Amino acid sequence: MTSLPSTSTASGGSAVKVQYLPGGTAANSQSINPKLILVNTGNVSIPLSELKVRYWFTVDGNRPQNYWCDYAAIGCANISAQFVTLSTAKPGADSYLEISFASGAGNLVSGANTAQIQNRFSKNDWSNYVQTDDYSFSSSITQFSDWNHITVYRNGALIWGIEP
Ligand code: CA
Q: Percentage of residues in the chain with pLDDT exceeding 90?
A: 91
Name the CA dihedral angle for 137, 155, 99, 57, rounded to a multiple of 10 degrees: -30
Q: How far is the CA of 136 from the centre of ligand 1 (A)?
A: 10
- How far away, in angstroms, is 150 Cα from ligand 1 center? 15
pLDDT value at residue 127 = 98
β pairing state of 34-40 and 16-22: antiparallel
How far is ligand 1, taken at its centre, from the CA of residue 92, in Å? 7
Our measurement of the distance from residue 94's CA atom to the centroid of its chain's CA atoms, rounded to an integer in Å, reads 15
Ligand 1 centre distance from Cα of residue 98 (Å): 16
- What is the Cα–Cα distance from 112 to 155, expressed in whole angstroms? 20
Strand partners, 17: 39
Distance 131 CA to ligand 1 centre (A): 5
Cα separation, 109 vs 39, whole angstroms = 9
CA angle 136, 140, 146 (to 5 degrees): 60
- pLDDT score, position 71: 98
Evaluate if pTM is beyond 0.95.
Answer: no
Q: How far is the CA of 45 from the centre of ligand 1 (A)?
A: 35
Question: At residue 20, what is the residue type?
Answer: Y
Q: What are phi and psi of 105, to 5 degrees?
A: -70, -20
Helix, strand, coil shares of the chain, percent, nearest 5, are 5, 50, 45
Nearest partner of 69 among 104, 38, 93, 34, judged by Cα: 34
Over residues 62-68, the mean pLDDT reads 97
- Residue 13 — pLDDT band, cuts 50, 70, 90? low
What's the one-letter identity of residue 88?
A: T
- Res. 1: pLDDT tops 80: no
d(CA 124, ligand 1 centre) in Å: 16
Does pLDDT of 82 surpass 90?
yes
> Which helix (DSSP H) or strand (DSSP E) does residue 28 occupy?
strand 28-29
Assess contact for 61 and 120: CB atoms under 8 A: no
